[in-house]
Amino acid sequence: EKYIEEPRHIEIQIAGDQYGKVCHLSERDCSIQRRHQKLIEEAPSPFVTEELRKEMGEAAIKAGTAIQYEGVGTVEFLVDKHRNFYFMEMNTRIQVEHPVTEEVINHDLIMEQIKLAAGVPITGMNYLPQGHSMECRINAEDPFNNFLPWPGKIETLHTPGGHGIRVDSHIYAGYQIPSNYDSMIAKLIVWANTREEAIKKMHRALTEYTIEGVRTTIPLHLKILEDEQFQKGNFTTKFMEDFDIN
């Protein structure tokens, strides 16, 4: 098996209709993860060039066309430090991180999935990202205690708001987080004109996000956003292994 130096986890969103047409909707960078579970996703990737986006997009379209794919799906790649990319897998569904793509292409992917299932043809146009979007997965876990799950009752809840800030969640004050399911309780998504602005906006939104009664990954997200290498876009899938979490 080929050894991939300084790998990044980058995926291409695609859409295919019932008439053999497939297009790509740009890329997401999902390299910030622990135990193969993503913590922060963003679009576009700070590592991807226009040329690489074109090459990866064409490869993803080729894969979708080969299997006559219908619906919205994701083709996932590992990309090495020389920007060589390698197919990893395809997710034939809407993914948790789809909102960052929606924000940079201004397109509702859930509606698109429904339209494709109803037989509505796509235009075939490939989408290029406008601005920058970032998503933090908010989990009911203690990130400073080996990510120990933290089920329990949410006593107080205040969600951030404002232009370019979006919260996808089902929780409320008084909500009882069960121990039987995945610990993710919310997704915080921001959009801004530049990556630097998106980081600042996300940092502000996280500081405003109040969830009392249980521990969450919000303090960890803040630490990552404050990291100099993250701010420069210098990270790989190994980022969390070397990150000083305390």
Residues labelled as active-site residues = 93
Cis peptide, bond prior to residue 46, ω within 30 of zero: no
Place of tokens 């064409």: 58
Place of tokens 């990270």: 235
CA 232, CA 55: separation in Å to the nearest integer? Answer: 24
Three-state helix/strand/coil letters over the chain = CCCCCCCEEEEEEEEECCCCCEEEEEEEEEEEEECCEEEEEEECCCCCCHHHHHHHHHHHHHHHHHCCCCEEEEEEEEECCCCCEEEEEEECCCCCCHHHHHHHHCCCHHHHHHHHHCCCCCCCCCCCCCCEEEEEEEECEECCCCCEECCEECCEEECCCCCCEEEEECCCCCCEECCCCCCEEEEEEEEECCHHHHHHHHHHHHHHCEEECCCCCHHHHHHHHHCHHHHHCCCCCCHHHHCCCC
